[in-house]
Every structure is written in structure tokens, then in C-alpha cells.
A and B are shown apart, each in its own frame.
Chain A
Amino acid sequence: MPSELEKFKLAFTISLVPALLVSKEGDIILSTAMADELFGYDEGGLVGVKIEKLVPDKVRPHHPELVNAYFRYPSKRKLGNDRELAAVTQFGEVIPVEVSLDTVTIDGKICALAAIFDIRYRKQYEDRVNMAMDAAASAMIMVDEQGNIVFTNRAAVSLFGYEEAELLHMPIEQLVPREIKHAHTVYRRSFMEAQTARSMGKDTELFALHRDGFSIPVEIALTPVQTPNGRMVMSTIIDRTEHVAAERVLAEKSRLIQQTNDELTQFAYSASHDLKAPLVSITGLIDICLEDLEEGELDEVKENLLRCQQISQRSATKIEGIMAIARVGQDRVEPEAANLKTIVEEIWLDMTGANKANVKLKLELEHEDPIVVEIFAVKVILENLLSNALHYRDLKKAEHFITVKTELNGNNILIHVIDNGVGISEENQQVVFDLFKRLDDRSGDGLGLALVKKQVERLGGVLTLDSTLGEGTTFSVAFPLHFIET
């Protein structure tokens, strides 16, 4: 009766798989012809060779310990599944392999039976696939049935900010914003059940979570994949950040166009009243003049001609005012260093002049002069606000105050013009900045605040209004200051 070893020899002779039988001491006892060929030995040449001779240099020094460890806790296991495993031929060539290990007892001695699989071709194929995946512009992530990441490409690494090693085995929910994490788990399971390709984020806003905690707008296509390791899902993730930014720019542009359109419509309407009215009055007056001339009423003619003159002059001034508004923002103006305190004081002096109106101007300036601004724009703004404050003082009050107050807020300066005048009703606060809007008999052409608003916008600032009827009004202007490089 042949010994157990003889039986194994026979089996090894007919085996078509590269296999080795290794003793506890790490000596090769038997090898198949395929193994001899794989490692570059003559037939039977591997017998007696130490197993560590077949492992790469790096592993060789501690390989005997690994062998010992294996024999201490022998079991059936597969090596190379989750990490790269390599073998070395007689000629030093390194071959990627997977190894199936099991133990057998032969003639009372425990031995390791190792089947070695040459995975060079599979590796080459995988590398090619990986290269193609890495070359793809879209991030790709494959998850297994449990929702763990089993594959990712380079685009995914750069999109999510994780290292590839960190992404692998990570639950996919870690890349989902917190508020939908739970729902995502449910969706993922039902998708695994249904197994039909679909896209996410086409109609709804979809976000993925970056390592640093911010959300990335994305669009995702899901494809079910059947693999030897079970059902998987390949997701292709398209980064919509730039797209979303472009959409925002477009929306802003169309809002501006709409605004310009509205302003134009408003202007056309106003022009039909405010610009046409003086011409119509002049026409009427001239008709009367012609009739009076025939009848020899020369005094009346003279009076009406003077009226015509006045109306034309007023209209010319008004048109100048409209042009001033229309021109705002067209010319580029260099910001200059200016003394805001001086500007306010000079305007005030011009406006109140020698006749000391019974209005007190108070300055509460918290900024430090000089500031760097477009001086002309600031002057126009302050002139109009101060002149309004003065004009709309409440005659029922014994004392009239106007305060100019400044604050600094980062790079922004806030200028408040505060008065205890008649105030503006809530209803009128909505329209007070409209072109040609005259609120009462004290109003001018209805151009002043429209001009202020344009100038503030030109400075990249905001104009707000806070007023209570009977108590007073505060106009506040906030705009960024420039800095002169020294």
C-alpha cells in the first residue's frame, strides 16, 4: 500500500494547478509541474527549496515567522484577496499572485498545501480598467450591497478630499450630507432591490459632503453591477459646482436686465407726465399769447411770455438733473483721500450760508479722516441728504436737529443723516426713491433721492431709510472704503 506521500505525489503529477506542499520547517516537499514552470525551475527542481526563496526580498527575512504563525493556528485561507501579494521566480521576476492555503497531515506530519494563482493577466486587465476609470473626468464610486465603498477613481479622490485608502471600505453615507443620511440608507437598500439604472439630482438639488464638511452640488448616475463578489452599484458623480456658479451669474444678469427694463418702463411713464407737462403748458401759454396779441393785450402777453421763460428754465434744470442720474456709473472715477468732516462742514455752510437757520448740525464721527472714496459721489449723496433734512424740518417743533454720524464696520463706512423733521409715512417710504416722485408741495422735481440711490449703488453700497411720521428720519448709507497702496 503506497504511503500517504506517494498518493500526494501522484495527485501532484496530474495537477494542472501550480501547487506546493510545504513542511512545517518551510521546506518544499512536493511541487506540481505547473509550479516548477511558474517559478522557472526544472521539473522537480523546487523540491528541497526553502519556501521563503519564492517571496519578495522585502518579506523574505520575516517569512519564516509567518510560516510558524500559520502552523500555530492552521486554517484554510486565501491570501492576496485584500492586499497585494507577490512571488519571485528563480530569475528574480516578481509575479502578482493569490495563494490558497490549507493544511494536510501526511504520515503524521502537518504540512501546508498551497495553490498559487498567477494573476498577472487579471492584474494587467484591472490596471487598464483602473487607468481608464482614473482618466474619467467624473468621480466614480462603487459600493457593495452593504453600502461600503469597494472602488473609487482619482476624480472621486479629488472631489471628496479623501485619500483613496480612506475611501475604500468607507460607508457611502459618510459622503452624504447629514440631513439626508438616514433617508439615503433607505433609498440605497431599495435601489439594491430594484437594480435598475437611474439618475439622481436631475430635477432636484442634490449635494454630496466633502471631507471638510461643505456640500458639493452634484448629479449622480447609478448603475447596478453584478460581480463575482455580489451585487454592487457603480455611481458616477458629476460635480455641478461650476455649473451652479454659472447659473447664479446668469440669474443675476437676467435680474439686472429685468431691473433695467423696469426702470426704463418707469422712466417712459414718468417722461409722459413729467417731461411732457412743461412743454404742454408752454404750448397752451403761446396759444393764449397769440390770441392776446391779436386783441392788443400786450401786458398779458408779456406776463405769459415770462411764464414760458420760467417753465423752460425749470425744465432745462430738470433735464440736467435727469442727465446727472443717467450718467452715474458711466465714467470711471479714481478714489481719492478725503476729509469727510470738512466735506460735511463745507456743504452745510453753502446750504445755510450767512443766514443762520435755526437748525443745529451735530457731528458724531467715529471714523478717522482721511478716507479714500470717490469724492464727487460722496458729496452728491451728502448734499442731497442734508438738503432734504433741512428742507423737511418740522415747523411745529421748537428746535431742529440734524446729526451726521459715522461708524466703521470692517472695510465699510456707515454714514447716518438723522433729523427730527416731519418724517416719512410708511406708505411713502416705499416710493420715496422713485424717479420724479414728489410727495407733497415741498418736494422738488423728485430727482434728489433717486440720484442719491444711484450714487450709493455706484459706490457698491446700500441706502436705507428709517422714519417715523412726526418724529424724524434717518437715512443711512453704507459703502466699502478704498485703500491707497503706499
Chain B
Amino acid sequence: MKIPIVVVDDQETDRYLVKRNLARADDFDVPVELPSGDLFLDRFFSRDPGDHSDEPVLLVLMDINMPGLDGFETIEEAQRRIAQGQGPQSVAVMMFTSSDNAQDRQRAEDLDIVKGYITKPISKENISYIRSLYKSIDEDE
């Protein structure tokens, strides 16, 4: 099975770059693209409360600077919804941003479901990090 992945980014170009780079690595699915935090929450975290622990790991690349909910606000809301059982239990988010700002890195570290911080553009090293992260979580399940 290929690795499923979601890209949340308002910039079409940046989503395209992720898609192209992942395509080069054979073991990733074509990413699910979402242009805003709101649409991401609608798609994955708006279900009836219940036990979703049997679902596969949701692997997400999350942009920070977006109109509407920014990346951090989206994650905070997702965490609230996870606690209420409205989405998958196993979520691994990597911040995906052009900013190498210390303030942003600190904020990312303080969020439970954030497992990494990747600065754009995405590189081969980033991709192997994402792959090993996914595998380590998937094996735990």
C-alpha cells in the first residue's frame, strides 16, 4: 500500500510542487489537496463523535500562512475535535512553510499532533523523513 498524504496550502504552486516531488518517490499516493484550513476540517474532522481508532494514520503537510484559519489555528481546532471523537485518532502533522521563524517553530513544538517542521521547498531529505515518520507511527498501530 502506498502512503496516503494530505497537503493543506492556499498556494496552488506549492501544492503542485509537493505533488511533483512525491510522484518521484514511488511509495506515496497522489496527495489530497486542500486550499484552506476550513476545508481540511470539513473533510476530516466533522464526523459524528465516536471511536475512530481503527482508521489509518492521517499524514498532513500544513502550511502556516493562509487566509481564514491559519495553519496553527486549524491544528488547534483539529485537536479539539479529536478530543471529542470527531476525527481520526492517529494524526501526524508536519508544518510546511517558507518561514524559518523561531516563534513559529516554538509554536509548532507546543502542539501535540505536530511531529515535524519542514521548510519549503520540499526536498528529498524531507520526503524520507516523512516516510520514516509514517512508518514508525503505522507500525505502532
Whether B36 and A284, one on each chain, are in contact in the complex, defined by CB atoms closer than 8 angstroms, is no
Q: Does B10 make an interface contact (CB < 8 A)? A: yes
Q: Does A311 contact B (CB under 8 A)?
A: yes
Q: Contact partner of A311 among B13, B98, B99, CB < 8 A?
A: B13
A279: which B residues are within 8 A, CB to CB? Answer: 98
- A50 CB–B CB distance under 8 Å: no
A280 to B119, CA, bound (A): 9
Instruction: Tell me which residues across on chain B come within 8 A of A276, comparing CB atoms.
Output: 98-99
Q: Flag if A273 contacts B98 (CB, 8 Å).
A: yes
Against B, the Cβ 8 Å flags (1 = close, 0 = not) of A405-446 are 000000000000000000000000000000000111101000
With an 8 A cutoff between CB atoms, is A368 at the interface?
no
Please count the residue pairs between chain A and chain B whose beta carbons lie under 8 angstroms apart in the complex: 59
Interface digits, A62-100 against B, CB 8 Å rule (1 contact, 0 not)?
000000000000000000000000000000000000000
- Cα separation A203 to B24 with both chains bound (whole Å): 72
| B 107-127 to A, binary, CB cutoff 8 A, 1 in contact else 0 | 000000000000111100000
Among the listed B21, B24, B99, which residue makes an inter-chain contact with A272, where contact means beta carbons less than 8 Å apart? B99
The range of chain B's interface size is 20 to 34
Instruction: Name, among B14, B17, B21, B98, the residue most crowded by chain A CB atoms within 10 Å (CB to CB).
Output: B98
Partner of B17 from A272, A284, A440 at Cβ < 8 Å:
A284
Total chain A interface residues with beta-carbon distance under 8 A: 22
The secondary structure that dominates the B interface is loop
**B11 contacts across to A, CB distance below 8 A:** 277, 281
**Known contacts A277-B11, A288-B17; A283/B97 CB under 8 A:** no
Q: Which of B46-54, B60-68, B75-83, B131-139 lies at the interface?
A: B60-68
B65 and A284 contact, CB distance less than 8 A: no
Cβ proximity bits A282-321 to B, threshold 8 Å, 1 near / 0 not: 0111011001000000000000000100010000000000
Instruction: List 23 A-B pairs, Cβ < 8 Å.
Output: A272-B98, A272-B99, A272-B101, A272-B104, A273-B99, A273-B101, A277-B65, A277-B120, A280-B121, A281-B11, A281-B14, A281-B17, A281-B98, A281-B121, A284-B17, A284-B120, A284-B122, A285-B13, A440-B67, A440-B68, A441-B10, A441-B67, A441-B68
> Which residues from chain B sit less than 8 Å from chain A, CB to CB?
10-11, 13-14, 17, 20-21, 24, 35-36, 64-65, 67-68, 97-101, 103-104, 119-122
Chain A residues with CB under 8 Å of chain B are 269, 272-274, 276-277, 279-281, 283-285, 287-288, 291, 307, 311, 438-441, 443
